[in-house]
């Protein structure tokens, strides 16, 4: 989680920052005004001040507090070793505990209450959050197949990533509630886009939406119930692919297999995400019989120069062909990797090279252009290698 935009520590080597929390608005605003480089903003639980460690010191805070009826506060140094998405969350929790007011405002030392408050704030901003659309194309032709819908939290004064929100949902036992919220927002936004396209005589978009198995098995997302949600948004199941991603192993896949079959019968596409990583094993994929297998981005990255990754993708291509599933490579960012994945028989692709996520569905880059650039790059590499001037000179020991 990142509070506004300030000095960013660089793996412990950049300028350090401190975070102060207090319930006294007058004190916090005075501190922010008098200490150089500080900024303040209000949360439901109190007010936060963040500033450079060299100016936002214990001595300076105590001096200013002495002139404002000595308010209670907590002041901590932010840990630059933590990921940016967690640094301020941990710091805020520690500052509240240090202030001595944690019990009074209902914040447990574990930070569980802080995550709960963050989720409550997240849920209150239904009409503020954004949806980004990333194109997925057919690799051999460049034809646009669908867009993956990516949820982008917009939380004024409290910037964070969807991964932080998802982790908070898992830690607080609210992941199904979170999935339900996100899916309904996406369906609502997509429904508006499809309605506008129908009015303009434009073909409907095909879209992919992410789920966890736990949410897919919840009664609110039982196949018929979910189809009703889709119908309420004036959408067609044949235009929607459900992407199943999982942070934990599925202990009993029987109910999930039954649910996937029911969804497929209603016209929904079904994709297994992150194949080749985590728990998306061959046995699980074989049991679920998805329409699309998404190859993990770590496998696609650098595959042009990695024989082992190439062999793994070849196995997935063969496996997908046997069960009638298309192969989709995520995270394509290099032309050489694009060419290799296409040559290996991967059907679909997405990534920054093809098209970045955008707040409106935009056309992907032309595949012809990408291939031409790749060919030029390959020719340039061969020419340089053939030029005697570019060859390494033998050392004295080999002359």
Q: How many CB atoms lie within 10 A of CB 369?
A: 10
Beta carbons of 391 and 169 less than 8 angstroms apart: no
How far is the C-alpha of 296 from the C-alpha of 301, rounded, in Å?
Answer: 9
Out of 2.40.50.180, 3.20.20.140, 3.20.20.450, 2.30.30.100, which CATH number does the structure's domain 121-382 have? 3.20.20.450
How far is the C-alpha of 78 from the C-alpha of 88, rounded, in Å?
Answer: 7
pLDDT at 180: 93
* pTM, rounded to two decimals: 0.68
How far is the C-alpha of 270 from the C-alpha of 190, rounded, in Å?
Answer: 18
Q: By CB neighbour count within 10 A (0-12 exposed, 13-18 middle, 19+ buried), where does 381 fall? A: exposed
Beta carbons of 136 and 148 less than 8 angstroms apart: yes
pLDDT at 12: 47
Q: What is the mean pLDDT of residues 132-138?
A: 96
Q: Of 311, 315, 312, 264, give the one whose Cα is nearest residue 288.
A: 264
More confident residue, 91 or 300: 300
Identify the residue whose tokens are 């405002």. 105
What percentage of the chain has pLDDT greater than the value 90? 51
| Residues 332-370: tens digit of each pLDDT | 999 999 999 999 999 999 999 999 999 999 999 988 777
Mean pLDDT computed over every residue of the chain:
83
pLDDT at 1: 32
How far is the C-alpha of 53 from the C-alpha of 212, rounded, in Å?
Answer: 41
The strand ranges marked E within 70-143 are 73-77, 130-138
pLDDT at 373: 56
Q: By CB neighbour count within 10 A (0-12 exposed, 13-18 middle, 19+ buried), where does 388 fall? A: exposed
Q: How many CB atoms lie within 10 A of CB 11?
A: 7
CATH code, 17-109: 3.30.70
Q: How many CB atoms lie within 10 A of CB 104?
A: 11
More confident residue, 85 or 362: 362
Residue 279, C-beta contacts closer than 8 angstroms, at least 6 positions apart:
246, 248, 249, 250
pLDDT at 252 over 90: no
Q: How many CB atoms lie within 10 A of CB 127?
A: 9
Confidence of residue 376 (pLDDT cuts 50, 70, 90): low
pLDDT at 255 over 60: yes
DSSP structure string for 209-264: EEE-HHHHTSGGGSHHHHHHHHHHTT--GGGEEEEE--SS--S--HHHHHHHHHHH
Which residues of the chain form CATH 3.20.20.450? 121-382
pLDDT at 306: 94
Confidence of residue 217 (pLDDT cuts 50, 70, 90): confident
More confident residue, 396 or 20: 20
Strand order in the sheet with 46-52: 39-43, 46-52, 17-22, 73-77
Which residues of the chain form CATH 3.30.70? 17-109
């Amino acid at each position: 989680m990142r509070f506004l935009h300030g000095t960013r520590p660089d793996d412990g080597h950049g300028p350090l920052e401190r975070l102060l929390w207090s319930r006294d608005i007058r004190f916090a605003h005075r501190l922010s005004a008098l200490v150089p480089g500080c900024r303040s903003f209000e949360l439901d639980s109190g007010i936060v001040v963040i500033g450079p460690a060299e100016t936002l010191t214990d001595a300076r805070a105590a001096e200013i507090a002495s002139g404002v009826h000595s308010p209670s506060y907590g002041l901590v140094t932010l840990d630059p070793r933590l990921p940016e998405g967690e640094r301020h969350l941990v710091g805020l929790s520690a500052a509240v505990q240090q202030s001595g007011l944690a019990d009074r405002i209902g914040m447990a030392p574990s930070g569980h209450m802080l995550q709960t408050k963050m989720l409550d704030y997240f849920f209150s901003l239904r009409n503020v959050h954004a949806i980004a659309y990333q194109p997925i194309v057919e690799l051999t032709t460049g034809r646009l197949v669908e867009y993956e819908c990516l949820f982008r939290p917009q939380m004024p004064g409290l910037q964070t990533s969807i991964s932080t929100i998802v982790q908070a949902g898992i830690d607080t036992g609210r992941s199904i509630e979170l999935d339900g919220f996100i899916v309904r927002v996406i369906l609502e936004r997509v429904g508006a886009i499809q309605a506008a396209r129908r009015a303009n005589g434009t073909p409907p978009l095909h879209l992919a939406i992410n789920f966890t198995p736990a949410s897919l098995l919840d009664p609110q997302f039982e196949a018929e119930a979910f189809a009703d949600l889709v119908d309420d948004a004036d959408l067609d199941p044949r235009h929607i692919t459900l992407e199943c991603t999982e942070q934990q192993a599925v202990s009993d896949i029987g109910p999930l297999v039954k649910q996937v079959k029911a969804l497929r019968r209603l016209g929904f596409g079904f994709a297994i995400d992150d194949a080749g990583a985590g728990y998306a094993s061959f046995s699980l994929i074989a049991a679920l019989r998805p329409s699309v297998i998404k190859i993990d981005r770590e496998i696609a990255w650098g595959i042009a120069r990695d024989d082992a990754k190439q062999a793994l993708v070849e196995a997935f291509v063969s496996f997908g062909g046997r069960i009638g599933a298309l192969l989709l490579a995520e995270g394509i960012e290099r032309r050489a990797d694009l060419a290799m994945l296409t040559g290996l028989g991967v059907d679909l692709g997405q990534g920054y090279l093809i098209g970045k996520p955008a707040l409106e569905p935009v056309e992907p880059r032309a595949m012809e252009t990408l291939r031409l650039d790749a060919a030029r790059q390959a020719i340039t590499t061969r020419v340089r290698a053939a030029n005697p001037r570019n060859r390494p000179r033998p050392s004295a020991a080999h002359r």
